[in-house]
Structure 1
Amino acid sequence: MATISMNIPFKHRPPNLPDNRQMLDRRLYLLGKRLTRDPDLKKKYVTEIHKLLADRHTELVPEEDLCRADGCVWYLPHHPVFNPKKPDKCRIIFDCTARANGTLLNDQIHQGPDLTNKLIGVLLHFRQEAVTFTADIKGMFHQVVVNPADRDALRFLWWKNDDPYNVPLEYRMTVHLFGGVWSQSCANYAVHRTVEDNASEYSNSARQTIKRNFYVNDCLKSVASVDEAIYLVHEAWRYKIPPCMKLKDYCSVEGFTSTSGCRIAEMLSILYLRMSGPLMFRQLTM
């Protein structure tokens, strides 16, 4: 599978970031107290940290870079977040909005162009044909690698042997972050650029699907026949469409293919029951 690597689009190079290690030490201390009080949460948190390491989404800071003091180092606090629909799954969020010495990381980085398809357009295309299917890109932001020169701006601390009573070690993320103001633009650009660079390898239908039928990491696609849908899905799996991404969880109202056994697609807070029925929206509560 192809991999794409991109810089963090800092507004200034070098970015001249202040030392925020003291703020991070305080946040890590509070996280340690919380995990110590809640062994079940600690177990889930440790599992996610180990997963980041196993997937090579994070790495130990090389010894020669530990004392780096050139304005390119920033430490990210992190905390757990839970989805009410998946109470047993813990997601680690790195806080790109944490402020230290009047500075926060997201303010130092360009947001980038809005390359996300308009939701209304994706929904209208989804309603055009009789057969529909959906899919999403697994860990979209984490599939775009950060170039090594910028990784020290994504440092974080974690304890040796997962024990809050031990001295913390310094890690740095190797991929773009959920919560980074720049990440969505970079991920969308990665998808479109890799398709353009390898256009001869994919059918026109596949290219149009990527350009028109994705809303961030969610694909909502309709085609005229079951055979066409099966062909497109098989092409996606065989040729890794998009080529730098891993697709997962195909689901169809026709039931022709499904990795999860699901027959009702619930995505983007839209409950879609049948093509003959109306679109019904569920209001989000913040």
Structure 2
Amino acid sequence: MRSLAKRFERDKDLLMRYNEVIQSQIKQGVVERAVEDKKETLKHYLPHHPILTPTKSITKIRVVYDASVKSKKGAQSLNESVLADIEKAFLQVGIQEQDRDVTRFLWFKDVDDVRVSEYDVYRLCRVPTPVSLSIGDNIYVGNVMLGATSVEQAYKINVESKEIFQKACMNLREWMSNSTEFLNLLPTAERSEGCVVKAFGIVWNCTDDLLQIQGVTLSDEDVSPTKREVLKVIGKIFDPLGLVTPVLFYGEVFIQELWKEGLTWDVPLPETLHKRWNSVLKKLKLISQLKVPCFIGHGIWHTVIYLRAEYQDNFKVNLIFSKLRLVSIDTENNKKLKKEITLLHLELLVVTIGVRAANFVTRELKIPSLKRTIWTDSTGVLYWLRTGKPLSLFVDNCVKEIQRQGDLFYYVPSGENPADFPTQGLTVPEIEQSRLWWSGPEWLMSSRDSWPKWQPPQPVLQDVEAETKTGMVLYECSNVVTHGKQDEKLSVYGLDETKYSTLRKLLRVICYCLKFVKKRLWDVLSESRREIIGKTYVLLAEIFNSLSDGQFICANDIKLAMLLWIYCIQQNRFHDVLSAIEENKSHCLKQQLGLKIDDLGILRCYGRFLNTTLTESAKHPKLLLLEENTLLAY
């Protein structure tokens, strides 16, 4: 409320209009004053703020009650807890009397002086628009986006959808379409005024059937150039499909430069950076001039997705999605990481991001039997995808994720690769005239049989082979294990395994101890504190984050307890081996068994099972000691 009061202090007119909306909702019974009583009901307060939409013909200002806010990590938001979801969208959906206290919010008693005003407590009686409740894949908050292949089908959808919403006392209004014939079938009162509207944040001209990305406005050019204002201006450019990624490249790189300079938020930019910002602004300003037809280098990661449709030996290819990321800058926190990541690693990450983006687009398109083909100009990545040799942990995990969907992978020369455009940066006129960007290489317009068969050049084996591993030979070494006991014995919460008749009983006791510690200590810690502890005690953090809630024990809880107990046994019996590995010193067991410490601190054997098709746990078994008085005997 303090931040809201500061905003209203700067704009008294906004305060008055906002208050009118609140008072109107009170009169209409959408909102009521909350009365304190002795009933023990769940209470939750919703933050709220105004949204201005001057382009709307009716609702130019609305109150957004943010029901997506979570009180803490792992907790459910109100949106996730309530199951249900377009005249002033969902004001007809009532809330049960006993549930209204979870929709409380605060408002000023005296709107004439919000700085010192006390607060009144209100609660919602009906669900307002911004509490987004989903009833279909084509609905988002108060907007419905539907498609049809003919005017007859469109009109049928119009009638059926209105009937469905009428049953819930809702009215679908402000219809827009790229078909004049369809609009003429509707009453004038149901049509939207004008031909330009925002469709999910992107401007749509339904008459010309063109999309437009909003660029920099004249008011943005007059702002004082500070890092805060630069981020604010670039953040206004909403391009969810990545249609103007090569142009946004200039803004993204400039932001990274500001972070490298170490400038604070509100310090004016130096003269050199000020001139560069003016140059970037000129390029971003032209984005709004770009009209898109509607259709269904080192340091930069970029992927581009095209949809290729075939009908009677005719092909149509259109850009439908792209994704751009920049490599993290050289700060003190990531210098060590940057030394470990090579150019080949970045190329592998690009392909991984491409597969993830393809998975996202595939889910959203919902096209059955969609064939996917992925091209890359990285010969090293193609080598890793096709080799049968064991790879390093990082490369192996990426390769497994990439190959999981069964896509086809091919080599494409850099000159034919449109994903290289954002690494160079393009102006709006250049991207507007680029057929390669909007439709991909020309050979995509022909059948698969006629596609070029490029043979990737031989990769630099020195860099590629550095990520492969050779299997180690295991030896019989029962005589080298020391059976002596240490003076200080590490155990789980002081438990003595000799006092339990079965392993199952021991593990269940450990589970109850873990659940107690999780509830009383771990769950009350802040997110930042958990991250700090997790960096030092990786295994405990993983256990507490994966442990089930409630008093009952599940199979996964038993596995976590077993993992913790194995960790304690290894710390007691193989302390010298662990020290040798951490200090990079030689040890007989380390060489003979190929011992390594995994990400959770567990000692594992990396030997001749590497080339098998066994599970990861079976390939790299945990090292244990068979001893008379030890319960875990393997």
TM-score bracket for this pair, using the shorter chain length: 0.5 to 0.7
| Alignment partners' CA distance in 2, 1:264 and 1:37 | 31
Pick closer, same or farther for the CA change 1:59–1:36 going to 2, 3 Å.
same
What TM-score comes out, normalization by structure 1 length? 0.53
Matched, 1:80 2:50: yes
Partner amino acid, structure 2, of 1:247: L
Deviations 1:215-269 (A, max 9, x none): 344143537456x7668757876x5744211111123431403433434665333
- 2:199 maps to what in 1? 267
| Alignment partners' CA distance in 2, 1:95 and 1:112 | 13
Pick closer, same or farther for the CA change 1:222–1:156 going to 2, 3 Å.
same
| Alignment partners' CA distance in 2, 1:141 and 1:284 | 26
| Alignment partners' CA distance in 1, 2:43 and 2:17 | 28
Deviations 1:141-164 (A, max 9, x none): 433221111100111122336443
Pick closer, same or farther for the CA change 1:112–1:235 going to 2, 3 Å.
closer
| Alignment partners' CA distance in 2, 1:82 and 1:233 | 28
| Alignment partners' CA distance in 1, 2:27 and 2:164 | 22
| Alpha-carbon offset, residue 49 of structure 1 | 1.0
As a proportion of its length, which structure holds more helix? Answer: 2
| Alignment partners' CA distance in 2, 1:265 and 1:108 | 30
Deviations 1:19-77 (A, max 9, x none): xxxxxxxx2x442343234211112211221232233221111x3xx145735111222
| Alpha-carbon offset, residue 82 of structure 1 | 3.0
Matched, 1:91 2:40: no
Partner amino acid, structure 2, of 1:77: P
Pick closer, same or farther for the CA change 1:223–1:76 going to 2, 3 Å.
same
Pick closer, same or farther for the CA change 1:103–1:56 going to 2, 3 Å.
farther
Pick closer, same or farther for the CA change 1:105–1:82 going to 2, 3 Å.
farther
CA contact (8 A) 1:160 1:167 kept: yes
Identical pairs, percent: 23
Deviations 1:101-135 (A, max 9, x none): x479744764678x99xxxxxxxxxxxxxxxxxxx
| Alignment partners' CA distance in 1, 2:7 and 2:197 | 36
| Alignment partners' CA distance in 1, 2:129 and 2:50 | 13
- 1:284 maps to what in 2? 238
| Alignment partners' CA distance in 2, 1:34 and 1:75 | 20
Matched, 1:251 2:200: no
| Alignment partners' CA distance in 2, 1:231 and 1:109 | 32
Partner amino acid, structure 2, of 1:176: V
Pick closer, same or farther for the CA change 1:31–1:265 going to 2, 3 Å.
closer
Counterparts of 1:48-197 in structure 2, within 5 Å, are 48-61=21-34, 63=35, 66-68=36-38, 70=40, 72-83=42-53, 85=55, 89-98=60-69, 102=72, 106-107=76-77, 110=80, 137-160=86-109, 162-163=111-112, 164=114, 165-177=116-128, 180=131, 183-185=132-134, 188=135
| Alignment partners' CA distance in 2, 1:242 and 1:94 | 25
CA contact (8 A) 1:93 1:179 kept: yes
Pick closer, same or farther for the CA change 1:265–1:81 going to 2, 3 Å.
closer
| Alignment partners' CA distance in 1, 2:74 and 2:62 | 22
Pick closer, same or farther for the CA change 1:103–1:143 going to 2, 3 Å.
farther
Select the residue among 1, 5, 11 that pairs with 1:38: 11
CA contact (8 A) 2:88 2:129 kept: no
Q: Which moved more, 1:259-268 or 1:153-162?
A: 259-268
CA contact (8 A) 2:87 2:173 kept: yes
Partner amino acid, structure 2, of 1:271: W
Pick closer, same or farther for the CA change 1:70–1:111 going to 2, 3 Å.
closer
Secondary structure, counterpart of 1:248 in structure 2: coil
What TM-score comes out, normalization by structure 2 length? 0.27
| Alpha-carbon offset, residue 96 of structure 1 | 3.3
| Alignment partners' CA distance in 2, 1:111 and 1:75 | 14
As a proportion of its length, which structure holds more strand? Answer: 1
| Alignment partners' CA distance in 1, 2:75 and 2:90 | 17
Secondary structure, counterpart of 1:250 in structure 2: coil
Pick closer, same or farther for the CA change 1:171–1:80 going to 2, 3 Å.
same
| Alpha-carbon offset, residue 81 of structure 1 | 2.9
Secondary structure, counterpart of 1:79 in structure 2: strand
CA contact (8 A) 1:146 1:174 kept: yes
Higher relative contact order (CA 8 A, sep 6+): 1
Partner amino acid, structure 2, of 1:95: D
Larger of the two Rg values belongs to structure: 2
Partner amino acid, structure 1, of 2:194: C
Unaligned runs of 5+ in 2: 214-236, 241-634
Secondary structure, counterpart of 1:36 in structure 2: helix
Secondary structure, counterpart of 2:146 in structure 1: strand
| Alpha-carbon offset, residue 170 of structure 1 | 1.3
Cα RMSD (Å) of the superposition? 4.2
Pick closer, same or farther for the CA change 1:96–1:69 going to 2, 3 Å.
farther
| Alignment partners' CA distance in 2, 1:158 and 1:44 | 14
